[in-house]
Amino acid sequence: MIRPSEHWQGFADIDSGSDKYRRIELLLSSANFEYLKTRAIESRRKHQPDLNDDVGCSVDLTHFTSGFNNLVLELAFSDNTFWIARIPHQPFNDSDETSTLSEIATMRLIKRHTNIPIPQIFDFGMSTQSFGYPFIFMDYLGGRTLSNGLAVTIPHQHRNKVANQLANVLAELQNMTFSRIGRIWCGDDANQPIEIIPMAWHASPGPLDTSLEYFYNQ
């Protein structure tokens, strides 16, 4: 099995003089990774009650990948199972927590009602008390990041296939409709009945009642 971290470059991909470098360096040196590993094993037991008692978990802090907001680490279990941990390296406030919980609820909803490839979310924590940072545990979907986008990177002979795949994704998303326009919310534990909540980053937070109202405000 290909490990998630096989092509991850760690700090080699980050400018050593950047704020991002310093934020990730602080995260890796200050977070309680013993807690994270223990939490990961506990989470696996919830999803797999017959898990062997001797299964352990390790985290390699030298091989990671990162984006604008998040650090991604590999959780390697001793039975050759791999999860990833997504951890924000940017400052995290109440608005960010709401956005993250909405994202979790959205991902779970899409996974439950469509065939779109999307990671399963196994566990998450928004409190910083135990680990030091919020985190999300999810499974790993194989693939590589494209540095220059689809139109430039995909070979010409494969473009029809990729376009067809994207069209199928959009068609499935189009069939998921809601009574109002906003963000999906399923409570602080992301497993309550669906609500539509305001979009804090839009001109009119909403929720909005019609597409005309949405486009008028945006």
Answer yes or no: is 64 within a domain: yes
List the domain range (segments joined by +) for residue 80: 4-92+128-139
Answer yes or no: is 119 within a domain: no
Answer yes or no: is 38 within a domain: yes
Is residue 207 within 8 Å of residue 213, measured between CB atoms? no
Check whether residue 205 and residue 135 sit in a common domain.
Answer: no
Antiparallel, parallel or unpaired: β 135-139 and 121-125: antiparallel
Is residue 83 within 8 Å of residue 122, measured between CB atoms? yes
Is residue 110 within 8 Å of residue 176, measured between CB atoms? yes
Check whether residue 88 and residue 193 sit in a common domain.
Answer: no
Where among 139, 173, 200 does a domain terminate?
139
Check whether residue 162 and residue 182 sit in a common domain.
Answer: yes
Check whether residue 170 and residue 198 sit in a common domain.
Answer: yes
Where among 110, 139, 168 does a domain terminate?
139
Answer yes or no: is 85 within a domain: yes
Q: Which of 89-93, 147-151, 180-184 has the lowest mean pLDDT?
A: 147-151
Residue 5, token pair as written in the block: 């971290």
Buried/exposed code over 28-43 (b: 16+ C-beta within 10 A; e: otherwise) = beebebeebbebbbeb
pLDDT digits (tens, 9 = 90+) for 2-25: 789 988 999 998 999 999 999 999
Answer yes or no: is 209 within a domain: yes
Q: Is 201 exposed, middle or buried (0-12, 13-18, 19+ CB in 10 A)?
A: exposed
Answer yes or no: is 144 within a domain: no
Answer yes or no: is 123 within a domain: no
Answer yes or no: is 175 within a domain: yes
Residues 205, 188: Cα–Cα separation, whole Å: 20
Q: What is the mean pLDDT of the chain?
A: 93
Is residue 199 within 8 Å of residue 183, measured between CB atoms? yes
Check whether residue 132 and residue 188 sit in a common domain.
Answer: no
- Split into its structural domains, the chain has a count of 2
pLDDT digits (tens, 9 = 90+) for 37-77: 999 999 999 999 999 999 999 999 999 999 999 999 999 99
